């Protein structure tokens, strides 16, 4: 099939590249000449493992191309996928400016029987509004089919999630159009849920809100475990083996971040309020997550009394490993709080330093290596569980520090690894602290 994808962010680029990988001819369209020029050179504008290899492979195979021209990109397209951002407004609602701009830009080039696929995360009822707008605004008499096809990608594993999805959701009242989209995805051999557009739109929000709630639940359990002397990792294991619960998203830590969970949870709450449906569970999920991001700083304040003139090494800026994305990252709250308390901060991240500089500027020092960050530090905060950081030998870590004090926001190290140190103060999440001093 010939497919056009409008938008080359995480969702659009992953979708376009992977559809080319399974045999379709894909043209990705973006208004940014800078991004398109990078992509034409085989360079991904986002950090995503495996992405650049697939871009180069499918461009060489003549199945993938990039353009800033809607006319060129849509000329032969059988399916048009919209995958632009829908950021959060101050009210919590999704901002649909980019979505309708993309629709407006595409409208002059649409064929009468166009199939528009909305992959962007949008409020319930948006697909209907898009169809109404197209039918009313187009100078040609067209009756496009608008299909809701939400994405369920995880940053850092977007390529794998696209090629090996748990399910594909297709929401459309037009059975013929839905059948075309099912055929498009057929090579993936994934379960397909075909439903109406409004239900498909809700599936996306409900899924992310549930996962966010699961994270906040286990984080609250972790805080309770600390208070009563239990171990949250043992509790999580015992819970996760129950098939009704499952082990995914039961790792206690310093809260969720990224481009999806925070805005989708806020948007779902906004939808609930707009329709006068109480949803206090979601409100509590958000409150717990916001408190959790402050947890390491509170632990450090309890330990030191105050943090004035303390040198704190922060390992990890990105909201999760294998991405450079810092949207709603816990590191932002943590570092701003450390600076407010008078600490000096030196941070390290394998790939997100450039994005961190746009947020913190010259307020902190940026290290080129873990070793540089740790040298002479009064304490270290483990904020992002990069493989490089989890594989550190703790005894070597603390040997470079002024004080052997570790605040681990991701429970990156086993008790055995901690106790291999001659001297350490180790403060994890949801587990008792381990304090060992030289005799």
Active-site residues: which are they?
A: 260
How far apart CA 157 and CA 287 sit, in angstroms, is 28
CB proximity list for 200: less than 8 A, separation 6 or greater: 127, 148, 149, 150, 169, 170, 171, 172, 193
- Any long-range contacts for 235-239 (C-beta under 8 Å, 24+ apart)? 235/430
Q: Are strands 434-436 and 424-427 parallel, antiparallel or unpaired?
A: antiparallel
Report the Cα 437 to chain-centroid distance in Å: 40
Look at residue 142 and give its three-state secondary structure: coil
Question: What string of DSSP letters covers 152-205?
Answer: ---TTSHHHHHHS-S-EEEE-S-HHHHHHHHHHHGGG---EEEE-HHHHHHHHH
Task: For residue 29, give every residue at least 6 positions away whose Cβ sits within 8 Å of its Cβ, in sequence order, or none.
Answer: 4, 5, 6, 7, 8, 66, 67, 68, 69, 70, 73, 74
| 9 in Cβ contact with 36 (< 8 Å) | no
Dihedral, CA of residue 161, residue 193, residue 241 and residue 225, to nearest 10:
80
Report the C-alpha gap between 268 and 271 in whole angstroms. Answer: 5
């Amino acid at each position: 099939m010939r497919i056009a994808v409008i938008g080359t962010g995480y969702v659009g680029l992953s979708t376009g590249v992977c559809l080319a990988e399974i045999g379709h001819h894909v043209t990705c369209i973006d208004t940014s000449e800078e991004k398109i020029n990078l992509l034409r050179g085989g360079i991904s504008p986002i950090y995503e493992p495996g992405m650049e290899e697939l871009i180069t492979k499918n461009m060489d195979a003549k199945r993938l191309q990039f353009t800033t021209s809607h006319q060129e990109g849509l000329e032969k397209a059988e399916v048009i996928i919209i995958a632009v951002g829908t950021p959060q407004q101050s009210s919590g609602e999704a901002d649909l400016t980019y979505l309708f701009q993309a629709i407006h830009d595409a409208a002059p080039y649409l064929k009468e029987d166009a199939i528009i696929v909305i992959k962007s995360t949008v409020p319930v009822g948006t697909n209907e509004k898009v169809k109404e707008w197209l039918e009313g605004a187009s100078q040609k008499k067209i009756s496009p089919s608008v299909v809701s096809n939400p994405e369920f990608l995880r940053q850092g594993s977007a390529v794998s999630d696209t090629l090996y999805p748990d399910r594909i959701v297709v929401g459309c009242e037009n059975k013929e159009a839905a059948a075309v989209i099912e055929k498009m995805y057929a090579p993936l051999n994934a379960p397909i849920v075909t439903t109406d557009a409004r239900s498909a739109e809700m599936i996306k929000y409900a899924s992310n809100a549930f996962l966010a709630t699961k994270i906040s639940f286990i984080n609250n359990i972790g805080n309770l475990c600390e208070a009563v002397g239990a171990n949250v990792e043992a509790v999580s294991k015992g819970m996760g083996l129950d098939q009704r619960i499952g082990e995914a998203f039961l790792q206690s830590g310093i809260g969720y971040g990224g481009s999806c969970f925070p805005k989708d949870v806020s948007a779902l709450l906004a939808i609930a309020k707009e329709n006068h449906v109480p949803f206090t569970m979601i409100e509590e999920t958000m409150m717990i997550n916001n408190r959790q991001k402050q947890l390491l700083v509170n632990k450090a304040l309890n330990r030191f009394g105050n943090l004035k003139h303390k040198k704190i090494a922060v390992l990890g800026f990105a909201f999760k490993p294998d991405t450079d994305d810092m949207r709603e990252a816990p590191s932002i709250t943590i570092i701003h709080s450390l600076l407010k308390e008078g600490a000096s901060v030196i941070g390290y991240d394998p790939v997100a330093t450039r994005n961190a500089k746009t947020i913190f500027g010259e307020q902190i020092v940026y290290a080129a290596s873990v070793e540089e960050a740790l040298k002479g530090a009064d304490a270290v905060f483990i904020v992002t569980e990069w493989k490089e950081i989890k594989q550190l030998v703790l005894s070597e870590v603390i040997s470079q520090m002024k004080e052997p004090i570790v605040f681990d926001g991701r429970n990156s190290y086993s008790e055995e690894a901690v106790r291999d140190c001659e001297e350490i103060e180790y403060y994890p999440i949801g587990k008792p602290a381990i304090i060992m001093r030289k005799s």
